[in-house]
Amino acid sequence: MRRMALRIALQLAVSAAFIGVLLWRVNIGRLGSELHGAGWGWLAAAAPCFAASAVFGGVRWWLLARRAGPIPLRAGVMTLLAAGAVDLVLPLRAGTVALFQILNRRYGVHRAAIVGTAAAGGLVDVIATVALVVALSPVLALGRRSPLSVALIVAAVAALVTVALIIAVRRYGARRILRPLPPVLCERISRQVDYLLSGFSALGDVRSILPLLLLTFADWGAAATGYILVGHGFRLGVDWPLYLLVEAGGNLSGLVPLTEGNIGTYELAVRELLTAGGADGNRAAAFAVGAHAVGLLTTLVLAVVCAVAVRIRPHDLFYRDADTPRPAGPPLTARPRP
């Protein structure tokens, strides 16, 4: 219990630090005026767009997760959306923990496989973001030394390193790489790696790449439409391609679980991105606060509806492994080539 309290306190401190930097970068009086004068009807109209974005993202996740186990489309997507609310109140990706607990109990999907699908989704986000920025670079005229360009270079390098590690493990096998370890430990870790890599198996199928990218851009397009409506509410006055980058940049800012609900990191990242695109800094900060509030509220409402629809109960989260279906064996992703 003390460890959980310390983690929550740490994340609150990190959020406070980012919010402090955000407030230092703006005029607090003008920020308050922008929030007070916002057209909140536009923000309410954005909520269905954010809900549609979440559904597209859920279907994309299911395309990754179905290789790891027999997860039904409707139940799987609704379970993912229901688990999303957990991240708003508990630290360190607790929503992912809730998700793999539920799927492990109901469908016998190994926990490490679900972690792998989450990591694979993050990798798709990075690849799609880099492709989007390259496609929009003539319109946005971003400099090589702009914060966004630097962040994308770092993300692209991290993605390349991740892909290289996955290819190495798939080619040579985790057991061969971990051979210097004691046999029992080597076998245990290798089995977990096999399950983890099963979450990436969809990325190894060329026929899956296009649907994953199309669903990613559909997710971002729906969210960008919501951001355009929020932008009208704050009279932001920026071109539509920048709203696509707001969605992509907001996703990237949340890949590392620094804060609960990405509070603080999101607002600062979106404000800096919009000001780099020519928006007024105070208005951009107000936009970030308003858009994030609508997004979090939409996530919460959607999660409650989905949790009721799929009948999630406490025993789906807290149970003995002996009471669950035995997980199916992982695909032989780590078998070394002869």
Instruction: Give me the pLDDT at residue 314, please.
Output: 80
**What's the structural domain count of the chain?**
1
Residue with tokens 């780099």: 276
162 located within any domain: yes
Between these two residues, 334 and 233, which has the higher pLDDT value?
Answer: 233
**Cα→Cα distances 181→32, 150, 178, Å:** 58, 38, 6
Asked whether residue 199 is assigned to any structural domain, the reply reads yes
In a domain, 9, yes or no: no
Residue 293 lies in a domain: yes
pLDDT in tens, 16-42: 888 898 889 889 889 899 988 888 899
Average pLDDT, the chain: 81
- State which residues form the domain around 108: 14-323
**How far apart are the C-alpha atoms of 190 and 180, rounded to whole Å?**
12
pLDDT tens by residue, 96-142: 788 888 888 888 888 888 888 888 888 888 888 777 777 766 665 55
pLDDT at 120: 86
147 domain residue, yes or no: yes
Select the more confidently predicted residue: 328 or 53.
53
Residue 103 lies in a domain: yes
Whether residue 138 is contained in a domain is answered as yes
* DSSP one-letter string for 226-273: HHHHHHHHTT----HHHHHHHHHHHHHHTSS--SGGGTTHHHHHHHHH
Residue 135 domain flag: yes
Q: pLDDT digits over 260-286, tens only?
A: 777 888 888 889 888 877 888 899 999
The CA distance from 50 to 246, in Å, is 13
Residue 237 to residue 226: CA distance in whole angstroms: 15
pTM of the model: 0.81
Angle at 223 between CA 30 and CA 55, to 5 degrees: 140
Contact in structure between 118 and 140 (CB atoms under 8 Å): no
- Is-contact 308 90, C-beta < 8 A? no
